[in-house]
Structure formats: C-alpha cells, structure tokens
Amino acid sequence: MQSRSGLPVPDESALAHSVRVADLVRARLADAGGWISFADYMDLVLYAPGLGYYSAGAQKFGPAGDFVTAPGLGSIFARCLARVAGDVLDQLGGGIVLEVGGGTGALAADLLDALRPHPPRQYLLLELSADLRDRQRARLAAQVPDLLDRVQWLDRLPAEPLTGVLIANEVLDALPVERFTMQDGKPRQLGVSLRIGEFSWSTVAAPAALEAEIRAIERDIGSRLPDGYSSEVSLRQPAWLDALAAALGQGLALFTDYGYSRREYYHPQRTDGTLACHYRHHWHADPFFLPGLQDITAWVDFSAAARAASAAGFSVAAYTTQAHFLLASGILQEMATDATGDRAPAPAMAAELRQLLMPGEMGERFKLLALGRDFVPAGELTMRDMRAGL
Ligand SMILES: C[S@@+](CC[C@H](N)C(=O)[O-])C[C@H]1O[C@@H](n2cnc3c(N)ncnc32)[C@H](O)[C@@H]1O
C-alpha cells in the first residue's frame, strides 16, 4: 500500500479496512489475468458491497470527513432546489421527488422542510449504501419527523415511470470512468496491474468503444489529441442516463456537478485529465492511495452528458453555472429571508454564499444540467443560457 507524505495517517482499523479493499482488488486482478480497466478498479474501491468507500462506514462528508458538498454548507442550496421543485410539481399538478445518491440526507431534509406547505407525494431516495441510508433516516427523523412517512428508500430505479423531479448532486462525477493515453496517434486504455506488489497504471490497446469515443472527441474539438495526452471518458454514463429516462416518465431532472463542455474538458493544455482523489480535505491525483478510504472522482463532460441524455429521450432544458442557476432560482430572496429571520448568523451565511456562488469556489466550476422528460419548465432556470457551448 502506498503512503503519501503530508497526508493525515489513518487509524489502525481504517488501515485494516483498506487492506481488505486492496485484497479484493488483488483477487479481481488474479481472476482477470493481472489487468483490470480503471473503471472496474474505481467501481470496486468505491462501491464493492460492504467494502467500497461509499458502501462502507467511512465518515466521507463534512469537516470530519474527506470533502464538503453544497448541501453540507447550509440549507440555502436545498431551499433554491425546493423552489424549482415546487414550481415543477405545481406545473405537473403534483408528483414525487427522486433523489439519487442522497449523501448525509441534508438535501432531502432541507428540501422537504422548505416544501412543507405543499410537500411532494413521496420523496424517494435511491441509495446503495446501507450506512448512508441509516444516516439519512436519522437526519430526516430529527428534522422533518412529520414528513418521514413520505420518504422511501430504493436500492434500484423504480420499474414504473414516475412523474416529478429527479435530483442528483455530485453523482455524475462519481460514476466510474475509463482512463486513456495517446501513443503513436492511437489511444491506449489505462488500467491497473501489480508492479512489485503495488497497484500501478498499465496500458492495453483501447477497445473499439473507447477508441470510437476518443475519435468522436477529436472530431468535436477539431484536432487530434497529441501523444502523451491522457484523460478520462465516461463510457457508463449513457446507460445510466437511459435508465433514468426510463424511470422518469414526465418531469425535470436536475444534475449539479463540477465539469466542463467538451471543448474545455479536452483542452490541449489539460494534458492529464481531471481525475481527483479526496482524502480528509486534501486533494491529490493518486487513485491507488489507501483504496477504500478516499473518494475518487472525475469532472463531468457535460457535452457528452447532454448528448447521451438527448439520445435517451430527455430534452436539455438548461445548462449553466451553479451561480447563475442559484441566482435564477431565488438565492437572493432566500438570503433576504435569512437576514430578517434568525436562521443563520451572518458570518456563516456569508461563508455559505461565497462557497456556492464565487467563481473560484463552486459558482463557476459547478454547472447545472436540467433535463426535461416530456416536460418544458415554465420558470427560468438560469440567468445565463450556456446550452450553445455544449
Ligand atoms: C459525492 S457523493 C454526493 C452525495 C450527495 N448527493 C451530496 O451532494 O452530498 C456521490 C454519491 O453518488 C452515489 N452514486 C454513485 N453512483 C450511483 C448510482 N449508479 N446510483 C445511485 N447512486 C450513486 C454514491 O453512492 C454517493 O452517495
């Protein structure tokens, strides 16, 4: 197992857990003849039942965890989403909210709290992690006990199409991605093998689907990717969006995440992609460090997501920065309410707004992709329509 100077040292039980996760990867490598794709590695270390980073009991979210997401900063993000969700549900004449990957339950609790006068018929939480389900239930029971009977947990998407609003904050970036590198004008697939007992990058010729996607990227950006250029591609995203389109019969799906349009993502200067690992609020780019104890993510190619969504039967209702989305959906009105009420002391509110809105924080790096399914929202979702750049 690799160590990294400057990063906090895990305790013994966390280290033992990481050894079990590494053993699982080694067993998979042995079964597969010594090499697995990076997407398979990412899938194992994040989602292996009972062992993966998201499936097991690590703290993950908040100051004592590895990273903070928008719902963990305070309630304003959820209240803005509640305004949009409330409008969509009114327009539809009622419906459900389906949240995919509910984290600590903060978004669900704050959103239901904000919608209290006209709550959705049901609030469905698609959550694969038993540990996170427990945390979500505790948070909801403490904050919205009167609405708990409307909350239902799912371990797969519902078979019958739903009407309502689908929300996925920082989920697209958590889907396992493939890594590739260009060599002699051809893409090579980067995967994982063992070198002197340690996990290590190694390449094979890119399979047809990966090569086709990389050639499509080159066509879209109007130039060949140079030798030595490495990056990621989310080959699993189209099937996932297909499944979401089948689950949402009518309504609006809202995805917030960090990412770029394709031209920005595969910019000539971004020579090593966007893969990022988060461990106790430290950022680095080594996915083999402490498997199972750190988050691994890749930024979202929103052009690819929008294209796959359109093929799945969604229409792209909005693509914009998180700041422009929150401004259009009432963050200033929510702020004014807080300033006159006793909800948050001013310094905490200022910090929350800075994080959500500033370009160097989440304001510009994070985007909103809104997808309509047999539905066109009546209200404005953004003050800056960026769909033409996709
Ligand atoms: C970075 S966390 C974000 C959690 C939460 N939405 C938030 O904003 O705090 C990513 C979440 O996506 C979930 N996730 C990833 N792939 C998923 C899938 N295919 N179906 C459902 N949830 C998934 C993970 O389990 C994890 O809870």
Q: What is the pLDDT of residues 160-194, one digit of tens each?
A: 999 999 999 999 999 999 999 999 999 999 999 99
The C-alpha R_g of the chain, in whole angstroms, comes to 21
Q: Give the whole-angstrom CA distance, residue 66 versus residue 85.
A: 29
User: Which tokens in the block code for residue 158?
Assistant: 């519902």
Whether ligand 1 lies within 6 angstroms of the CB of 74 is answered as: no
* φ/ψ bin of 87: left (φ > 0), alpha (ψ from -120 to 50), beta (otherwise): alpha
**What separation in Å is there between the alpha carbon of 223 and the centre of ligand 1?**
34
Q: Contact, 299 vs 264, CB < 8 A?
A: no
Specify the DSSP element, H or E, that contains 240: helix 237-247
CA 165 / ligand 1 centre spacing (Å): 17
- For ligand 1, atom 19: residue with the closest CA: 175
Q: Across the chain, where does the E strand assignment appear?
A: 36-37, 96-100, 123-126, 151-154, 162-169, 178-183, 186-195, 198-205, 230-233, 248-260, 276-279, 282-284, 295-297, 300-301, 315-321, 366-373
Is the Cβ atom of 69 under 6 angstroms away from ligand 1? yes
171 lines ligand 1 (CB under 6 A): yes
Report the share of the chain in percent with pLDDT over 90: 89
Query: What CATH code is assigned to 70-174+238-262+300-381?
Result: 3.40.50.12710
What predicted TM-score, i.e. pTM, was given to this entire model? Answer: 0.96
pLDDT band at 7 (very low <50, low <70, confident <90, very high): confident
Measure 130 CA to ligand 1 centroid, in angstroms: 13
- Give the pLDDT confidence of 209-231 residue by residue, as tens digits: 999 999 999 999 999 999 999 99
* Percent of the chain's residues with pLDDT above 70: 98
Ligand 1 site, residue 68, Cβ cutoff 6 A: no
Close Cβ partners of 153 (under 8 Å, ≥ 6 residues apart): 124, 125, 127, 133, 136, 137
- Kindly state if the Cβ of 175 falls inside 6 Å of ligand 1: yes
- Cβ(298) to ligand 1 under 6 A? no
Determine the distance separating the centroid of ligand 1 and the alpha carbon of 172, expressed in angstroms: 8
Q: In angstroms, what is the span from residue 118 Cα to ligand 1's centroid? A: 27
Residue 268 near residue 223 (C-beta atoms within 8 A): yes
> Domains of the chain: which residue ranges?
70-174+238-262+300-381
> Does the structure show a pLDDT above 60 at 3?
no
Could you tell me how far CA 55 lies from the centroid of its own chain?
15
